[in-house]
Structure formats: structure tokens, C-alpha cells
Amino acid sequence: MEKTGATTEMKTIDEISIDHHNKIVTAPCYMMEADIMQVRNNVQKAIEALVGMVP
């Protein structure tokens, strides 16, 4: 990934990653062992962050 210029960040199921420069929000929940409520909560955080980026 680094060869493409991308950087990676380690996150927990309770965190999301936001790239304000490129306007990208990601939720790592699908890559972790998590129950359905943890996935829902992580996705909800990502949605809220995305909505907050819209003018």
C-alpha cells in the first residue's frame, strides 16, 4: 500500500478513520471479530462523521 502513497492506521472496533484532505471515512468493523452491535455502532460513527463533512 505504501508504494501507492497510501498510509495505514491501526484502529479498534470503537474507532473510525477520517481523511479530511481526501474526504474519506472508513470503519474497520468488517475486518475484526465483532458482534453485530459493535459493527452497527462502528458504522454509525462513520455515517455521523460523513454527514458532518457535508456542507
Res. 50: pLDDT tops 90: yes
* Residue matched to cell numbers 454527514: 51
- 7 phi and psi angles, rounded to 5 deg: -120, 150
| 4 belongs to a structural domain | no
| 6 belongs to a structural domain | no
Per residue in 1-41, pLDDT (tens digit) is 778 888 888 899 999 999 999 899 999 887 888 999 999 99
| 32 belongs to a structural domain | yes
| 24 belongs to a structural domain | yes
Residue 23: domain span:
12-53
Residues 6+ apart with CB under 8 A from 3: none
Pure H helices in 1-55:
36-53
Amino acid 28: pLDDT: 86
Domain count along the chain? 1
Nearest to 34 by CA among 54, 6, 13: 13
